[in-house]
Structures are given as C-alpha cells and as structure tokens.
Structure 1
Amino acid sequence: MISFAWPWALLLLPLPLLVHWLVPAHTTTQTVVQAPFFTRLARLSRQRPGEGAVVLTRQWPQWLQVGILWLLVVLACARPQWLGEPVPVESSGRDMMLAVDLSGSMDTEDFIDASGKTLRRIDGVKKVLADFVSRREGDRLGLLVFGSSPFVQAPFSADTAVFLRLLSESEVGMAGPKTMLGDAIGKAVQHFDSADAQQRTLILLTDGNDSGSRVPPGEAARIAASKDIVIHVVAVGDPAAAGEEALDVDAMRAITDATGGQYFHALKGADLAPVYQRLDALEPAQFAQEYYRPRTELYYLPLLVAALAALLFQSLQALLSLRKTGSIKNA
C-alpha cells in the first residue's frame, strides 16, 4: 500500500497555473526601428509611435513537458512510502529491581560457588546475579545498592550489558558500612512509582539485619505491598552469626509475607536454584498488543522519472531543431 508522509505538498500542484494567471509576463525594452526621419514618417502617416509587446506562446508539447515534470517533483515532495503488512509488537510489563547489600560484612569470605571455591559474599552475589540477569530476557532490570544509604545505581532498562558493568563496579563500603534494609525498600518503592509496569518485583540480597532505618523494614514492606510490589529476599551468610552480621530471619520472612514474595537463604551458589525456578514461573504481563507497519521511502522514484523525462524531452527538441534546420537548408 502506498501512502504519502507529507500529503499537504500536493496542494502545490496548481501553483504554476496561479503564477501563469496572476503574474504578468516578463518584458524587455528594445528599439524595433531605427531611422533618422522616423519622426517625420510618423507625422506624415498621422500615427503616434508607442510601446508594443510581443508575448511568445508555448506549443502544447512544451506545456506537456512542464506539467509532467512539475507533477513528478510535487509527488516526490509529498514523500510517497510503501507500507508493509502490520507487525505485532508486545513488550514486557515487568520491572525488576535488584537491591544489593554493600555493607562491610559483605566482604566476608564464606560464600561457596558451584565449583567449591570460597569467595567473598559480594563476589558470590555478583557471580550469581550475572547468571540470573542472562535469563531475564524481556524484563527491565534496575540495580539498587545500599549500606548506610540506598542509591539507584542503574534505572530500569533492558540493557543488560550496562547493568552488569555497573554491578561489577559496585564494591563493599561504597554506600556506607551499615545495613539499612527499610530505607532500601523505600528507595525501591520511589523508583517503582516512576515506572508504568503492571508487575513489579524487588529482589533483596543481604547478609545482615536492619541497622536502624528511618522507615522500619516491616512498614516499608507494607507500603510496597500497597503498590503491588512483590519482594523476594535472598539472604547470604552464616545464620549463626551475631551482631550486625546476624540474619534476622523473622524480619525478612515478614517482608516476603507482607508482599507475597518468598524467602531464600543461600550459603552457596546451588542454593539459588529455587530462586530461579520461582522467578522463571512469573510470566511477564503483556501490555495491549500494538502494531507497526514498516515503511519504505519511494520519493526517489518520481525524481528519477522526472530526470529521465527531462532528458527525453530535451533530446526530442534537439532532434526537431536539427530536422527543421536541415529542411530550411534544403529549401
């Protein structure tokens, strides 16, 4: 199907006729007859000399040439396009925020990866998240890091390469030494408010308990639940630890219960398989299906025809002129 991107350009079609009717013909002044006794001749013939005009008239082939060329140029200006068949487009309706704890305790080396190697907790989390992000094709991912304060390191985006680069650059202590779980949840809620997703998921990865957030984790979880945000908590580290490194399992389960999420505890990489299974089961919600039609520009075709037509007309005029000149010489 052919359509015009700028159909208003077709209004220029009658422009040459308007110029022909409204603009006077171009004139030049020149002396037709030169004679030393011209004034006497005019007096004897009782005629008064005056200005005259000769308007050259175009033949119908010339009018045809101008009309065809103008039509083709105007068609090119209207930008003809070929519209292809409608192509359906579906986009994911899920925004997923991953909140990573960067408190001082994440520097502890007690995380065991799939090969049995002992890593720092933060390195284990990075390795697990890199594998997890590679599975999340179609979701918009965001990265939030927190310690004494929460920071949005990467806003929601489908660009996983940028997400992984910013994750790799995150280091223990860059957000402060403490573990403010409630503030991290509150920051994620604020960022979700600016998104238009139908399904919202927050994955909270931490190795400690709350260190005195301005908003308690339980209250922050209730606010998140009121905004349809599901929170999954992944705890890493030794459950027998004490102090700020201790895992407040009851508080974390309260967060997941309030939002409809799940609680996982991971001492090694293999422990995160249930997290994969749970999140892979969450099919992304789809927005209303939209369509787009591929467009192919065709404006160059009228211009090409116009150039060929002008060349043809000029060639015919040259041949006719040569033929007429030959006839005169023969005569």
Structure 2
Amino acid sequence: MDWSNFEFLNPEFLWLLILIPLLAVWYFFMRKKDAAVLTIPSIKGFKADSILSKLKPLLYVLRLLALATIIIALARPRNVSVSKKTKSNRGIDIVMAIDVSASMLARDLKPNRLEALKKVAINFVDRRPNDRIGIVVYAGESFTQTPITSDKGIVKRTISELKWGQLEGGTAIGMGLGSAVNRLKESTAKSKVIILLTDGVNNSGNIDPRTATELATELGIKTYTIGIGTNGMADFPWSRDPRTGKLQFRKQQVEIDEALLKEIAEKTEGKYFRATDNTSLKEIYDEIDKLEKTKIEEFKYYNYQEKFRIFVFLGLGFLLLEFILRNTLFKSFI
C-alpha cells in the first residue's frame, strides 16, 4: 500500500477508537464477574486450571479487534492516485526587435550593451517555455533574423550570434518596429507582444515610427520599449585603428529618444523602461516576464481505490472466530 497517497474519507469516525482502550480497562476490572462463582471451603482435590481457562480473555480481544476494524471501515480508508495534465490555452507570440547599430558596442554596460542584452534575452527566452518567439534586428535597415517559432534552441542560438556590422549604419526604429509588426500581423495567438530595444534616436529608414505604432495599435499588438544606456557620457566606438583594425572608443553623450519610446508604449498599451546598467536591464526583462504570463490550466484526475471492504471482512472474521470459539472450545467456561 502506498501510504503517501492514503487517506480517510470520514476521519471523524476514528475518534471512536478511543472506546477500545476504555473497554479494555473496563474488561480488566470486570473480568472476575464474567463467570459464575462457586464458594467452597477448600479446592483441595480439584484439578488445576486448564490452558483454555487462561486463554478465555482472547474472546474479548477478538471482540475489541472486530470493533476497531469496523470503526476503521466506517472512516472509509482509500488510496488516491492523482494524474496531472497541463494545457496552455492562451499562448503568447513575442517578437524581440533588437537594435544592432554600432552604438550598441558602447561600454556603459559590461562588457558592452549588446553582450549584456544577449545574456538577459537568452535568460528571458528560457522562462517562456509555452510561448513562440521571433527575432528582428535593425540598424539603418531591418530584417527578420528568426521567424516566430516555438523552438527555443533556435531562438537562443540566434540571440547568441547577434553582432554589429551586419546592417548599414544608423538607427531605424520605425523599420525595426514595422518588421516586428509584420511578423505578428498573421499571428493567431490571443496575445501578441513586441519588445523593442534601442539605444538611440530614429535617424534613418523609410518607415515613420508613429506609422508603425498606429499599425501595431490597430492589430492589438502590445509594445514594450526599452531605452538602453546610462545617463550622461559613455565610451562609444568612433573609428578603427588602421594598424590593428581594433575599434577605438571615446566619451560621448548618450542620446535616447525617450519621448518617442514612451509614445509607442503608451499608444499600444505597453510600457516604457530605461536600462542604465546591467542590473536594471535584467530587472526590466524580469518585469516584462511577470507582466506577460501565459495562462496555464492544470487538470487533475483522481483515481480512488477503496480499502474499507478489507476492514469490514476482518471485523466480521474476528466476530465469527469469537462466536465459533465461544461455542466450541470455550463453551464449558461460559
């Protein structure tokens, strides 16, 4: 019997087991009155008590055992096996639109903005097992790096391989948002979300960010915007060393079009965040993860195996055994 899944349907009946020790004590003090008493001047010449007379209390023990098992049967002991099945009935399709312009190599986040983002984004994907995710990258132009998919391995590999230099220079926020909206417009998911991250201002591309925002609003696509970069100055790449080919950095003012990002988030019923360091960037993705939860239904199936019958049969067995012994072996002592 698996005791971890054992229970009583009517455990209140178990209080009746208190009667067992009380009846045992009562029998101990009343046992001498249970048989007829013959007063004689001497027992000399009488045969000593037989073994049967000493076993006579066994009848009362059998009766108490019968009572105890009947009480346990009344409490309805049973084994319960539980099987669980989960169902996701409100999947979320998410597209991450990621700025990969040269400024994402700025060192105000460690080791730089792009590498810090990749680590946090991969962790975010790991926590979305029931959702589909796609990746859009943009700089001076944009394209879909990975279409919306439920294969998290592909999504994480795509994020880990993101690098600067794949696209022409600039920051086309409107095109990045537009490409993300285009990925989601045919989605049949009940909830559609864009996470748009940038570290600059819209300075290139042929799609106005507000036009893309209006399209997202019409399609019911919620957009969370993230401005990444410290407040003040940061080390930005500005040229390559002609001898070594390594990027050279210099201090430059961080410029993020927060007004535009707030407007995009507000009109699409999303939220704007500012990530000024590695910790705040992680906290932002943690908060988005909490805000956008897939509704999971858990179904439990219970299988009950009733065990009271065995206690009923044991009780009847004890009573039958007591009846047989009382009317056979112990008949002459009653």
Deviation of 1:285 (Å): 5.2
Choose 237-246 or 164-173, whichever is displaced more.
237-246
Over 3 Å counting, the alpha-carbon distance change for 1:237 and 1:88 in structure 2 is: closer
Letter in 2 for 1:190: N
Aligned to 1:280: 290
Q: What does residue 104 of structure 2 align with?
A: 106
Shift in CA distance, 150/285, structure 1 to aligned 2, threshold 3 Å: farther
Deviation at 1:128, TM superposition (A): 1.0
SS at match of 2:115: helix
Q: Aligned residue pairs: how many?
A: 199
Q: Corresponding residue for 1:250?
A: 259
The answer to whether the 8 A contact 2:88-2:294 is kept is: no
> 1:282 is aligned with what amino acid?
E
Query: Offset of 1:281 from its aligned partner?
Result: 3.0
The 3-state SS of whatever aligns with 1:99 is strand
Displacement of 1:162 in angstroms is: 0.9
Q: Contact conserved, 2:194 with 2:223, CA < 8 A, in 1?
A: yes
Of Structure 1 and Structure 2, the greater strand share is in 2
- Stretches of structure 1 lacking an aligned partner (at least 5 in a row): 1-86, 112-117, 290-331
Q: TM-score, normalized by length of structure 1?
A: 0.55
Alpha-carbon distance between aligned partners in 2 of 1:219 and 1:276, rounded to the nearest angstrom: 29
Over residues 195-220 of structure 1, what are the superposed CA-to-partner deviations in whole Å (9 max), with x where a residue is unaligned? 21111100011111101332221221
The one-letter code sitting in structure 2 at the alignment partner of 1:270 is T
Using a 3 Å threshold, how does the CA distance of structure 1 residues 175 and 202 change in structure 2: closer, same or farther?
same
Work out whether residues 241 and 247 of structure 1, in 8 Å CA contact, stay in contact via their aligned partners in 2.
Answer: no
Q: Which residue of the partner structure matches residue 210 of structure 1?
A: 202
Aligned to 2:160: 168
Q: Which runs of 5+ in 2 are unaligned?
A: 1-84, 235-251, 299-334
Q: CA deviation at 1:182?
A: 0.4
RMSD in angstroms over aligned alpha carbons? 2.8
Return the alpha-carbon distance in structure 1 between the equivalents of residues 296 and 187 of structure 2: 15
Deviation at 1:176, TM superposition (A): 2.0
Q: Secondary structure at the match of 1:95?
A: strand
Residue 175 of structure 1 aligns to a residue in which SS? coil
Could you tell me which amino acid in structure 2 is paired with residue 156 of structure 1?
I
Indicate the SS of the match to 1:110. coil
Q: What residue identity is the alignment partner of 2:124?
A: F
Q: 1:89, 1:195 → 2: CA distance?
A: 20
How far apart, CA to CA, are the structure 2 residues paired with 1:178 and 1:162? 27
Superposed CA offset, 1:299-318 (max 9, x none): xxxxxxxxxxxxxxxxxxxx
* Partner AA of 1:141 in structure 2: I
- The 1:215/1:135 distance shift into structure 2, 3 A limit, reads same
Which deviates further from its counterpart, 214-223 or 224-233?
Answer: 214-223
- Asked if 2 retains the 8 angstrom alpha-carbon contact of 1:181 and 1:217, the reply is yes
Could you tell me how far apart the structure 2 residues matched to 1:185 and 1:123 are? 21
The one-letter code sitting in structure 2 at the alignment partner of 1:265 is: R
Q: 2:216 aligns with which of 220, 224, 247?
A: 224
**Which residue does 1:24 correspond to in 2?**
none
SS of 2:111 mapped into structure 1: strand
Identity %: 28
CA contact (8 A) 2:232 2:253 kept: no
